[in-house]
């Protein structure tokens, strides 16, 4: 019986040792697998950070280009409106000059009055056309700004 107990004790020690070695080997393999996964994940994270940085740079460049384009459009529209305004004021000055000449010609009479009246009417038509053109352009510009908002 003592021999059986001794064999039983030896087998228990052998099985416990094998179990301990197996657990250590499997735990080591699991930790190794986790480490490999972590190492494989790092380049992906670095690539993602690089993509985010590139996206930020592209967004900033696009914002800068669009801002500059908007400034150019505003400058062109402003210059065009200034041109239209100067054209309208020029037509009004021409009309005022023609009316003044008409009054002077009315004093002098006849044929000169007819010429001055014709010039005044042409100036008034030019002024009316320029004024309507400016009003239409301002209205269209207002609709463009509303649609942008």
pLDDT tens column, 119-132: 766 766 666 666 77
Q: What is the pLDDT of residue 33?
A: 92
Rounded to two decimals, the pTM is 0.43
The single-letter DSSP state of residue 1 is -
The single-letter DSSP state of residue 38 is H
Q: What is the pLDDT of residue 149?
A: 67
Cβ atoms 92, 127 nearer than 8 A = yes
Q: What is the pLDDT of residue 67?
A: 92
Q: What is the pLDDT of residue 105?
A: 62
Q: Going residue by residue through the chain (149 aa), what tens digit of pLDDT does each one get? A: 788 888 888 888 888 899 999 999 999 999 999 999 888 888 888 888 999 999 999 999 999 999 999 999 999 988 988 888 888 887 778 777 877 876 776 666 666 656 766 776 676 666 666 677 677 777 777 777 777 76
Cβ atoms 113, 106 nearer than 8 A = yes
Q: What is the pLDDT of residue 58?
A: 94
Question: What is the C-alpha to C-alpha distance for residues 69 and 75, in angstroms, rounded to an integer?
Answer: 10
Q: What is the pLDDT of residue 113?
A: 59
User: Could you please report the per-residue DSSP string of 44-74?
Assistant: HHHHHHHHHHHHHHHHHHHHHHHHHHHHHHH
Helix and strand numbers, DSSP H then E, in the chain: 2, 0
Q: How far, rounded to the nearest angstrom, does the alpha carbon of residue 111 sit from its chain's CA centroid? A: 63
Helix (H, G, I), strand (E, B) or coil at 101: helix
């Amino acid at each position: 019986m003592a021999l059986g107990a001794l064999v039983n004790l030896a087998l228990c020690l052998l099985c416990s040792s094998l179990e301990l070695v197996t657990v250590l080997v499997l735990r080591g393999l699991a930790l190794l697998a986790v480490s490999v996964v972590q190492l494989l994940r790092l380049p992906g994270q670095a690539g993602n950070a690089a993509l985010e940085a590139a996206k930020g740079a592209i967004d900033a460049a696009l914002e800068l280009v669009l801002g500059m384009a908007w400034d150019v459009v505003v400058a062109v529209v402003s210059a065009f409106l200034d041109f239209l305004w100067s054209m309208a004021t020029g037509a009004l000055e021409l009309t005022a000059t023609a009316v003044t000449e008409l009054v002077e010609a009315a004093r002098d009479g006849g044929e000169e009055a007819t010429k001055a009246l014709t010039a005044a009417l042409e100036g008034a038509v030019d002024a009316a056309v320029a004024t309507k053109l400016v009003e239409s352009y301002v209205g269209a510009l207002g609709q463009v700004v509303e649609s942008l908002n």
